[in-house]
Amino acid sequence: MDETVEEKEGGTMKYIIGVDIGTTSAKAIAFDFEGNLLTRKSIEYPIFNPKPTWSEQDPLAIFDAVVNTIKQVDDENKKVGNELECVAFSSAMHSLMAVDAEGNKLTDCIIWADTRSNEYAADIKNSSQGHDIYMKTGTPVHPMSPLPKLLWLRDHRPDVFSRAHKFISIKEYVFYKLFGHYVIDHSIASATGLFDIHTLQWYKESLDLAGITEEKLSKPVSTTHSLVGLNPGYAEQMGIDVNIPFVVGASDGCLANLGVNAIKPGDAAVTIGTSGAIRIIAKEPKNDEKERIFSYILTEDHFVLGGPVNNGGIVFRWFRDNFSPLEIREAAEKGIDPYELLTEKAAKVPAGADSLIFLPYLLGERAPHWDANSKGVFFGVNIKHTRDHFLRALLEGVIFGLYSVGKALQETTGNIDTIYATGGFVRSELWVQILADVFNKKVAIAESYESSCLGAAVLGMKALGVIDRVEEVEKLVPVSRVFEPDEEKHREYMKVYAIYERLYGLLKDEFVNIGNL
């Protein structure tokens, strides 16, 4: 996975390290000031599931991974005489942990995937305060968010709750260890359910609900805020000067938009990796009366609006692993990827899968329904349908899921013109073309390696004054391919989509019933 680009001609060059503290690994990438990737390193760490609904990580393992990836990237660049100018951060959203007065962990890091606070989230959502909290904080009320997690800790770990000096996210933990200060960037804060995105202050109503005061949280700072004065021990361990500025940066979701250059009005970024998301950038927060989308902060003038879906590429993986033994065998013999063979078969089925419709909610769903009880459904099965129809319907169903979120976004924020696509699904031309045809929009594939790391580096460049506006990212991200929509196919898709859209409402109660069997 790791790669190094050799020293460019001309010798010494200045560079920035963009670090992404992701869910599965920490990645550090060195970029020059033109956005070229110089060196990339990553170190993985595990997720623990001590109970089925729990997802936790060891913050110390993550900290070590961060320090070591920075060191590895810096060592390689030092060798060729390059000069580090700053380190800037991206991190996954929604994590929560408690620390004592010395900064030692009192809990592991409870990550976004943890759903132990499901009942608390449901109670808040259904309470008289639920809608107000969503509108003020921009964060959908959901167990991913730190607010219900705090309520869970209060009731289930009262010892920890009362002893906690601070409740923080993983990025704050890393910065505290490196600099001895608790700071939280506006972007990570805007995904906690505790922060007023309109006033850029902690939101008292949420804090009262959780039973905490501001002192228990970090100081909110802008995403280009930088700290200097590294802990000398860690500076030595990384081999970098104590005076190198560290820019706090933003969340991975917000930075992914920046890193693919989906930043102008009318641009949207669609990611389909294991899960998926669609996001746009607006000048101000625009919350959705129907509570379908989030509003997170990238900078004071850039709000990232959108919705995450659980059911992205994982749905295709499920089909490959459970219904495709022949393709798996053939692919192994030919030394190719089974997804390629499956995609070829799906391409032979007409758009709309001869009226077979798939609701992709294998893992419940976040946007647009925010309903953990929802389930997958094949609808309209008839005697002529083959396995490959099911496959085609499945690929279309994932896109319909994102389209339904895209519709909510367009209702709230205005029209989308161009979609910038990222994630594992861009390896399939068919799947990207389905995206273009369903949305009836142009889809561009950005030639970007790790958009969140590049996004972090762009904030670093802004903090250093190398660029004046984050919009200058346009110069740094070349587009490699563009897919044009096919109007006729779009019309076909819309016929089935109209039914798709109604099915969830018709089946909502039955999802609960089947879950209770």
- Please, which residue, 285 or 364, has the CB nearer to ligand ADP? 364
Task: Count other Cβ atoms within 10 Å, centred on residue 465.
Answer: 7
Largest separation between any pair of C-alpha atoms in the chain: 70
- Please, which residue, 189 or 426, has the CB nearer to ligand ADP? 426
Q: Would you tell me the crossing angle of helices 387-413 and 487-515 to the nearest 10 degrees?
A: 100
Nearest approach, Cβ of 316 to ligand ADP (angstroms)?
Answer: 4
Radius of gyration over every alpha carbon of the chain, rounded to an integer in angstroms:
23
- Please, which residue, 443 or 470, has the CB nearer to ligand ADP? 443
Q: How far apart are CA 29 and CA 74, in angstroms?
A: 9
Nearest approach, Cβ of 419 to ligand ADP (angstroms)?
Answer: 16
Count the residues in the chain: 517
Nearest approach, Cβ of 310 to ligand ADP (angstroms)?
Answer: 12
Pairing assessment for the beta strands 302-309 and 14-21 based on DSSP bridges: unpaired
- Please, which residue, 89 or 431, has the CB nearer to ligand ADP? 431
Q: How far apart are CA 173 and CA 108, in angstroms?
A: 11
- Please, which residue, 274 or 440, has the CB nearer to ligand ADP? 274
- β partners of residue 441: none
Residue 500, exposed/middle/buried by CB under 10 A (0-12, 13-18, 19+)? buried
Nearest approach, Cβ of 64 to ligand ADP (angstroms)?
Answer: 22
Q: Is 426 helix (H, G, I), strand (E, B) or coil?
A: helix
Count of alpha carbons within 13 angstroms of residue 260, beta-carbon side: 28
| Interaction site with ligand ADP (CB under 6 A) | 273-274, 313-314, 316-317, 337, 339-340, 343, 423-425, 427-428, 431
Q: How far apart are CA 368 and CA 365, in angstroms?
A: 8
- Please, which residue, 42 or 404, has the CB nearer to ligand ADP? 42
Nearest approach, Cβ of 309 to ligand ADP (angstroms)?
Answer: 12
- Please, which residue, 296 or 425, has the CB nearer to ligand ADP? 425
Position with the least CB separation from ligand ADP:
424
**Residue 421: enclosing H or E segment and its boundaries?**
strand 418-422
List the one residue out of 304, 306, 256, 301 whose CA is nearest residue 469. Answer: 301
Nearest approach, Cβ of 338 to ligand ADP (angstroms)?
Answer: 9
Nearest approach, Cβ of 269 to ligand ADP (angstroms)?
Answer: 13
